[in-house]
Amino acid sequence: MVYLCSNCGADFPKWNGQCPACHEWGTLSEFKIKKRSGNRPDREKRTATALSSLLNTIATERISSRIGEVDRVLGGGLLQGSLILLGGSPGIGKSTLALQIVANVDQPVLYVSAEESGEQIALRARRIGLKTGSMHISGENQIENILDEISILKTSLVVIDSIQTVFSNDIDSLPGSVSQIRECGQQLLQACKQSGVTVIIIGHVTKDGTIAGPKMLEHMVDTVLYLDGDDRYDQRILRSVKNRFGATNEVGIFRMEANGMQPVENPSELFLAERTDGISGSAIYPALEGSRPILLEVQALVSAANFGTPQRNVNGIDYRRLAMLLAVLERRQGLVLGTRDVFVNLVGGLKVSDPAADLAVVSAVASGTLDKIIQSSTALVGEVGLAGEVRSVSQLEKRIIEAQALGFKDLIAPQGSVHRLNSVPKKIKVHGVNSVKEVFEILF
């Protein structure tokens, strides 16, 4: 008998109100786990290997998915023998994307889906226009049988859609339960490391994390990808939050269309497509998603509060950050916001946590409050401090290049970062500033 944490998957011999490993409350529950026999290695047998002898045998071969956005997020393609977790909320497009990734690979592929029938998957593949030559579909949901099938078919790439539907006979709890997910994850990990098969595990995650599971697989797998997006929009963002073999925080941007997930090569154009000129309360900000610059529009609407407590409504940026920025505007710039409702929206359903967005947020709010328009060819970047000072941001060069490429004429940026630029950009005028006050003098 053990107690398993549904949040991190750690196990303990005794029950605790708080998980000693991840400090979540009320996540431990009791499970029966069957001891595997013959687990203990023979004392006489050596299991250590000389590190140098492994150098020749390491799999460094990457399999290209032929989808640039995916390959970049993975750090150059699927690494042979790696275990990849693809998480996301139900209906966001995980199955579609996984199918597109494996269909382009010239290797025997096994797509295991207990969620959908083979016909449904075939229909989807036809709708997207995928070639399915080297692909096998299986509706099996017992992990031991799946592993047999992998070795019989000699597949080198496997998709498990989804981890919540597979189960092991060794454990008597329902598929999707914490102990099943952990056991199946471990068996797949073993298969990866022993036979060099590459496995993509799909896992459903809900926004509030109510479906137990995928989170605790995170520490077991090599790469964790999350497919994100607002289901009211068709933009989808693939993020790597963990990658043992590449950079994290890289993103790939897609649109969910009738014929599958379409990579978006120029996201800035997508996010600025519906921008209306000549309206107050709009500011453009060159964001960085991973190594990639994307221009985003921040919109603010400020109106007289009709009821007692003024509303603060925010989409896409942190609520507390907004509260701080509004306080700076009140105290340092003398803007009266205490009696007004403030709505701030990052257009396109994206979320940013980069403080470099601050300057665009305060400018959009000020523009909305004063009802003065910010020139549509001006972009703003900078972190705002409590004294109303504008602080340096990372990778200004990249942001400048992107703004320049989209025809922006002026970029307002922290003086501290402008000083560090190696060259003066030609097609865009970069205004170095030290305080929000200076910014407003330029803008309004």
Name the site residues for ligand TYD (rule: CB under 6 A): 88, 90-96, 124, 127-128, 256, 258-260
Using rule CB under 5 A, residue 177 touches Mg ion: no
Report what 32 binds from ligand TYD, Mg ion, none; CB cut-off 5-8 Å by kind: none
Which CB sits closer to ligand TYD, 88 or 267? 88
Interacting residues of 303 by C-beta distance below 8 A, sequence separation 6+: 340, 341
Calpha distance 41→44 (Å, rounded)? 9
| Cβ 92 to ligand TYD shortest distance, Å | 4
Q: What are the residues facing 30 on neighbouring strands?
A: 3
| Cβ 8 to ligand TYD shortest distance, Å | 24
Number of residues that bind Mg ion (CB under 5 A): 1
CA distances from 380 to 296, 298, 355 (A): 10, 10, 12
Neighbours of 422 (CB within 10 A): 5
Calpha distance 182→382 (Å, rounded)? 43
| Cβ 98 to Mg ion shortest distance, Å | 8
Report what 93 binds from ligand TYD, Mg ion, none; CB cut-off 5-8 Å by kind: ligand TYD
Calpha distance 430→409 (Å, rounded)? 9
Q: Kindly report whether the peptide bond that precedes residue 162 is cis, defined as omega within 30 degrees of 0.
A: yes
| Measured distance between the N- and C-terminal CA atoms of the chain, rounded to whole angstroms | 68
Which CB sits closer to ligand TYD, 200 or 256? 256
Calpha distance 351→228 (Å, rounded)? 10
Report what 256 binds from ligand TYD, Mg ion, none; CB cut-off 5-8 Å by kind: ligand TYD
**Which listed residue (95, 223, 299, 404) binds Mg ion by CB under 5 A?**
95
Calpha distance 115→160 (Å, rounded)? 10
Q: Which amino acid does the sequence have at 191?
A: A
| Cβ 198 to Mg ion shortest distance, Å | 19
Binding mask 39-78 for Mg ion (x = CB under 5 A): ----------------------------------------
Calpha distance 116→4 (Å, rounded)? 30
| Cβ 348 to ligand TYD shortest distance, Å | 18
Report what 260 binds from Mg ion, ligand TYD, none; CB cut-off 5-8 Å by kind: ligand TYD
Report what 160 binds from ligand TYD, Mg ion, none; CB cut-off 5-8 Å by kind: none
CA distances from 126 to 66, 107, 116 (A): 18, 19, 15
| Cβ 161 to Mg ion shortest distance, Å | 6
Using rule CB under 5 A, residue 155 touches Mg ion: no
Residue nearest to Mg ion (CB): 95
Calpha distance 111→125 (Å, rounded)? 12
Tokens standing for residue 32:
């029966």
Calpha distance 322→237 (Å, rounded)? 24
Report what 258 binds from ligand TYD, Mg ion, none; CB cut-off 5-8 Å by kind: ligand TYD
- CA-closest candidate to residue 341, choices 368, 374, 373, 372: 368
Which CB sits closer to ligand TYD, 27 or 162? 162
Report what 34 binds from ligand TYD, Mg ion, none; CB cut-off 5-8 Å by kind: none
Tokens standing for residue 437:
């006050």
Report what 388 binds from Mg ion, ligand TYD, none; CB cut-off 5-8 Å by kind: none
Mark the segment that binds Mg ion (CB under 5 A) among 95-103, 246-254, 354-362, 421-429.
95-103
**Residues making contact with Mg ion (CB under 5 A):** 95
